[in-house]
Amino acid sequence: MPSQKLKLLGGGAHGIVFLAEYYNPPTFNVRMKLAVKSSKVEFSDSISGEGQILRKLQRCPYIIQCFGDDTSGEHGNTVYNLLLEYAPGGTLKKLINSREGFFPEDEASLYAYQLLKGIREVHRRGIVHCDLKPNNILVFPCGCGSNQLKIGDFRLSKVAGVGGHRGTLLYTSPESLFCGMHEAPKDIWAIGCIVAEMMAGKSPWKLCNDDDKLAQYMAFNQPQIPTNISDHVKDFLTRCFERNPNARWTADKLLNHPFVIDNPLLCLKWEDYQPLGNRPLGTGEWISSTGLFLTPI
């Protein structure tokens, strides 16, 4: 059996994610770990759509790589499987929780750089992610003692200029929430929320169990910028939290902001750095198979 689902990693309304092994001798003589996102084929439109977006974004080192798809018979059901990179470090949300926030500025700057490089590539391809948040950012430990972040979960992504989804409220920009505008500036606002969360260990918004009340609060207030940070970080967040989306800085501009560009860690060639445990499937060709996972867990 070339492939096997080993254990459940998580899931939601749109699919279940498994840790799996892919083994195809003699081409691949070492078992490769994969994250396999699965759904009954009749409910797989969002997952298969995510795969097509990721196919356009192959080779970007700051976006999760998708190796192909598979259709298998499991427990009497026809199951669609999307073959993704496995992130041994889990999610950025898990990393933030483990640190209780308070990332050193150099480290937060490095992660901001990686997210901006990834989202710049997304925007250059005419795509808006629409749901950037720490739970959708994957962590790959590197041999240098740091981590490489990769943007994942493109289920709510859309083509720029076409109608889309709101995404997660705590990371949603004002124009998206109140005007239904889901364009590239929305992703920049979300990156500001993520950086603020890394620096403070909590959301820049006052948490509320009632989404309507939270949305009303967001209508008349700005995200809270941490006070115990440098002026460079405060200015970076201010550029991300510009309420006018036309005045909000783009990823290109923010990559040249002093908070990002002055980081000494950027002397490393991150584009060429291979995270630990991240082995490519081979040629980068899209693999479309049938029956990789005939033996379910």
CATH code for the domain of 127: 1.10.510.10
| Residue 129 covered by a domain | yes
Residue 260 tokens, joined: 């990002």
**What distances in angstroms separate CA 86 from CA 37, 73, 184, 259, one per listed residue?**
11, 23, 27, 30
Q: 131, 210, 235, 272: which one is catalytic? A: 131
* pLDDT the model gives residue 273: 47
Question: Can you tell me whether residue 40 is helix, strand or coil?
Answer: strand
Check whether residue 104 and residue 146 sit in a common domain.
yes
| Residue 161 covered by a domain | yes
Instruction: Please state the φ and ψ torsions of residue 231, each to the nearest 5 degrees.
Output: -65, -30
| Residue 297 covered by a domain | no
Give the 3-state secondary structure of 166-191: CCCHHHCCHHHHHHCCCCHHHHHHHH
Q: Give the total number of structural domains in the chain.
A: 2
- CB count, 10 Å around CB of 138? 26
| Residue 280 covered by a domain | yes
| Residue 172 covered by a domain | yes
Integer Cα distance of 212 and 216 in angstroms: 6
| Residue 257 covered by a domain | yes
* Contact assessment for residue 173 and residue 186, using Cβ atoms and an 8 Å cutoff: yes
Q: Is 235 a catalytic residue?
A: no
Q: What type of residue is 227? A: T
| Residue 164 covered by a domain | yes
| Residue 37 covered by a domain | yes
Instruction: Please state the φ and ψ torsions of residue 215, each to the nearest 5 degrees.
Output: -65, -40
Question: Can you tell me whether residue 73 is helix, strand or coil?
Answer: strand
Check whether residue 42 and residue 171 sit in a common domain.
no
Integer Cα distance of 20 and 58 in angstroms: 21
* pLDDT the model gives residue 180: 86
Low-confidence residues of the chain: pLDDT under 50? 272-274, 276-283
Check whether residue 126 and residue 209 sit in a common domain.
yes
Check whether residue 183 and residue 205 sit in a common domain.
yes
Check whether residue 62 and residue 115 sit in a common domain.
no
Check whether residue 70 and residue 177 sit in a common domain.
no
What CATH number should be reported for the domain holding residue 12? 3.30.200.20
Domain residue limits at 206: 92-272
Check whether residue 164 and residue 252 sit in a common domain.
yes
* pLDDT the model gives residue 206: 84
Integer Cα distance of 2 and 287 in angstroms: 14
Check whether residue 220 and residue 178 sit in a common domain.
yes
Check whether residue 258 and residue 280 sit in a common domain.
no
Check whether residue 109 and residue 250 sit in a common domain.
yes
Tokens 């470090």: give the residue: 89
Check whether residue 194 and residue 282 sit in a common domain.
no
Check whether residue 226 and residue 108 sit in a common domain.
yes
